[in-house]
Each structure stands twice: as structure tokens, then as C-alpha cells.
Amino acid sequence: MQPPIGTLVAPTPTYRESMGTGEGGAVLLALRRGSGQLYYPGSDRMFWVPTRQIGPIPPEVFPDECLERVLSGLLLFLNADECVLETVSGDTWQLAIEIPALSREGIEELRGMLGERLADFAFEAGSMRHVLLRMTLRSLPPAAGAVR
């Protein structure tokens, strides 16, 4: 069984060595034919890795407010089918997330969950079963408890 989009994962040690990513974990952004796209926010790198070479890791591996945990929590909450990281500049991330429909209550919960991190969001028509959520997230100043 494949992990859901947003799962915090790490490749097997042998595969990780061949990629040169170090010991850190990544966020699963997409799945395609037996491969998963992993995003490493610390190094701003992405890799496609065979899903048999990745495994989930506990969120506690990361600090509470780091981008890995925020992005993971967001994608899991939205039950995302895919996330495309469109741009990263300074302290701003622009995402395109394919999701099932989201209720008005879900939107309010999303706003509450992200708080000041949520700079902007908009919905676009997707397929018959999905909606495209475009959002801009920003980091908070370190004094407010956010990272990177």
C-alpha cells in the first residue's frame, strides 16, 4: 500500500546514500507508477524515488513548526492527490494542490490551522472529482515560532 500524499518519509539507507540527501526526511508530494516525488525543504531539492525504497517516519523527527511538518499536516488534512511546488522565494512558497472538494467548514479549519502562514489561496476548476487549490504560504519570523 502506498503512503498518502503529505506523509513524512525517508528513503532506505542504501538509496539515501546514492541520492546524497543525508539523514533528513522529506515530504511525499506526488505518486506516479510506483515512484514517489520527495521534497527536501532544507536543501530545496526534489527526487523521484521508487515507493518500495521509501518508508514513513514519525513527525517528531522534525521541530514542531518546521516546513516539513506544516506541509505534511496541510496535505494530509486536505487529503491531497498531488502537490506541485510552483515557486519558493525567500520566505514564500507557492503551491498547487489537487484535492477533493472542500467544504466551507473545511476552508475555515484550513485558515485556522495555517493562521498567519496563509498569505493567499484560490480554487480553480479541476477534473470532475478534484479541485485545484492554489495557495501561497509564508514563514513566520523566528520570534513567532516558525522556521525557514
In this prediction the pTM is 0.87
The cell for 65 is 513548526
pLDDT of residue 102: 87
> What residues contact 144, with CB distance under 8 A and at least 6 apart?
116
pLDDT of residue 96: 94
Confidence check: pLDDT of 99 > 80? yes
Percent of the chain with pLDDT over 90: 51
- Out of 80-84, 86-90, 111-115, pick the least confident: 86-90
In the three-class reduction of DSSP (H, G, I as helix; E, B as strand; rest coil), residue 12 is classed as coil
82 vs 12, residue with greater confidence? 82
In the three-class reduction of DSSP (H, G, I as helix; E, B as strand; rest coil), residue 98 is classed as strand
Region 52-71 average pLDDT: 88
In the three-class reduction of DSSP (H, G, I as helix; E, B as strand; rest coil), residue 71 is classed as helix
Of 85, 81, 77, which is closest to residue 128 (Cα–Cα)?
A: 81
Q: How many residues does the chain have?
A: 148
Using pLDDT thresholds of 50, 70 and 90, give the confidence band for residue 16: confident
